[in-house]
């Protein structure tokens, strides 16, 4: 089966600019997650979707980050405006059943200068 697709692979922007990341999960996976991984740290969950509804966005900095999952399939994560501390790898994952069968995409490496 095809994996979780993410784009772009890399992105460099200046602070205060906006950026968007895209994720296409594995077909049939109802749950989609966005994680932020700062260099040298473990991934931190930003938001969890079940179909097109938000299950958990408690760690999403809502003043600058937004995410949507229209039609319960692919998802976009947006940062506006970006800060230097947003430099990280943004990972998308999807699962069929809860935490079983979690599959990660290759991630988008964001550098804010």
Partner 1 sequence: SQQGEEDPQALSIQEGENATMNCSYKTSINNLQWYRQNSGRGLVHLILIRSNEREKHSGRLRVTLDTSKKSSSLLITASRAADTASYFCATDVGGSEKLVFGKGMKLTVNP
Q: In terms of CB distance, is 7 or 81 closer to partner 1?
A: 7
Please tell me the chain's helix, strand, coil percentages from 3-state DSSP, rounded to the nearest 5: 5, 50, 45
- b/e per residue 85-108 (b: at least 16 CB within 10 A): ebbbbbbbbbbeeeeeeeeebebb
Q: In terms of CB distance, is 36 or 79 closer to partner 1?
A: 36
Q: Which two tokens stand for residue 86?
A: 């947003």
Point out which span in 15-23, 33-41, 62-70, 76-84 binds partner 1 (CB under 8 A): 33-41
Map the footprint of partner 1 across residues 83-112, applying CB under 8 A.
Answer: 89, 91, 93, 95, 98-100, 102-107, 109
Rounded to a whole number of angstroms, the minimum distance from the CB of residue 34 to partner 1 is 11
Rounded to a whole number of angstroms, the minimum distance from the CB of residue 48 to partner 1 is 5
Backbone angles phi, psi at 106, to 5 degrees: -75, -15
Point out which span in 12-20, 36-44, 65-73, 75-83 binds partner 1 (CB under 8 A): 36-44
- If you search the block for the tokens 């947003």, which residue do you land on? 86
């Amino acid at each position: 089966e095809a994996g979780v697709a993410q784009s772009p692979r890399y992105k460099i922007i200046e602070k205060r600019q906006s950026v968007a990341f895209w994720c296409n999960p594995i077909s049939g996976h109802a749950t989609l997650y966005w994680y932020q991984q700062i260099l040298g740290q473990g991934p931190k969950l930003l938001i969890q979707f079940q179909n097109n509804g938000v299950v958990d966005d408690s760690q999403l900095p809502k003043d600058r980050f937004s995410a949507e999952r229209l039609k319960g399939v692919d998802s976009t994560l947006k940062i506006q405006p970006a800060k230097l501390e947003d430099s990280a790898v943004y990972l998308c994952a999807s699962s069929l059943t809860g935490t079983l069968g979690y599959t990660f995409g290759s991630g988008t490496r964001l550098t804010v200068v």
